[in-house]
């Protein structure tokens, strides 16, 4: 778990401050001992809509009546947007966006209430384990950013038609300006789609920049407390350094951002019994 490239190598390669990537280190070995299933794609807008209609749930973004999103000239606060209209076109097959950590937890609790299984967000370690799918490259497909073509909805010239093109995935044209319907791209070796790009995904862990230096080997679950929760995987308009298997992101639990969504984990019975 963690970055194979040093913070300085990441910064130099993509022209970003090295300090942004120090929290990916030290690279360390982790043992995932509890079996789990992971959703093969991010939770869709249609699935989230079903949850809201059944429970009358009001999201954090709905409460504050706005979020960070696209206004035609850049990424900034926009009044009135939400998961229903995150400032870019979506269908019910696109990943739910404008979702806070609190919202994703509420969805998991609702889903668990429909049966006997335990549903939750993945831990950060589970997420990276699933994203890598037995590989050890910068991305699950290897170390070449151009090989994101057909494998991920990531930053390319199409993503940035409204302004100057930042550091994009070179030689990649995925055809989507913003998010794409889930499963539009080739899944990783374990059959999981959109682990890189499309929408940024919440994890269960509190964030701490130095956690890797003190985390347990078996089933790390993050610090006991904090102010921010971990997000992983990058979003459709993230540049390569910010959308790697090792990249860590974070924000407050009621974060108001059109970049954020989630996928769920289901524990197998033996893991649930051990937890209880």
Residue 65 has pLDDT above 50, yes or no: yes
Cα separation, 143 vs 189, in Å, equals: 16
Give residue limits of the domains in the chain. Answer: 28-275
pLDDT tens column, 48-64: 999 999 999 999 999 99
Fold adopted by 28-275:
3.90.1580
Phi-psi region of 118 (alpha: psi -120 to 50; beta: other; left: phi over 0): beta
pLDDT in tens, 174-230: 889 899 999 999 999 999 999 999 999 999 999 999 999 999 999 999 999 999 999
pTM listed for this prediction = 0.94
What pLDDT score does 209 carry?
97
**What sign has the CA pseudo-torsion 206, 236, 102, 54?**
negative
**pLDDT of amino acid 268:** 86
**pLDDT, average across residues 100-104:** 98
Please tell me which residue, 273 or 100, carries the higher pLDDT value: 100
Do the beta carbons of residue 205 and residue 229 sit within 8 Å? yes
pLDDT digits over 67-76, tens only? 988 776 667 8
Q: Which of 70-79, 144-153, 244-253 shows the lowest per-residue confidence on average (mean pLDDT)?
A: 70-79
**Non-local CB neighbours of 185 within 8 Å, separated by 6+ positions:** 150, 151, 152, 153, 174, 193, 194
């Amino acid at each position: 778990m963690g970055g194979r490239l040093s913070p300085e190598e990441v910064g130099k390669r993509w022209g970003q401050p090295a300090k942004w990537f120090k929290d990916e280190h030290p690279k360390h070995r982790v043992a995932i001992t509890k079996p789990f299933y992971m959703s093969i794609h991010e939770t869709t807008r249609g699935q989230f809509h079903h949850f809201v209609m059944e429970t009358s749930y009001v999201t954090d973004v709905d409460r504050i009546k706005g979020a960070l999103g696209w206004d035609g000239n850049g990424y900034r606060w926009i009044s009135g947007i939400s998961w229903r209209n995150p400032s870019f076109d979506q269908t019910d097959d696109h990943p739910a966006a404008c979702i806070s950590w609190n919202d994703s937890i509420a969805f998991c609790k609702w889903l668990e209430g429909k049966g006997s299984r335990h549903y939750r967000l993945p831990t950060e370690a589970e997420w990276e384990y699933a994203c890598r799918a037995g590989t050890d490259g910068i991305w699950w497909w290897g170390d070449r950013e151009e090989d994101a073509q057909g494998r991920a909805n990531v930053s390319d010239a199409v993503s940035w038609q409204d302004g100057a093109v930042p550091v994009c995935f070179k030689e990649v044209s995925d055809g989507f300006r913003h998010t794409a319907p889930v499963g539009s791209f080739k899944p990783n070796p374990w059959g999981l789609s959109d682990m890189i790009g499309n929408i940024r995904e919440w994890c269960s862990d509190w964030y701490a920049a130095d956690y890797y230096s003190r985390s347990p080997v078996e089933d790390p679950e993050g610090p006991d407390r904090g102010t921010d929760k971990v997000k992983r995987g990058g979003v459709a308009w993230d540049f390569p350094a910010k959308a790697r298997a090792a990249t860590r992101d974070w924000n407050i639990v009621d974060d108001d951002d059109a970049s954020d969504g989630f996928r769920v984990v289901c524990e197998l019975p033996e893991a649930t019994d051990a937890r209880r």
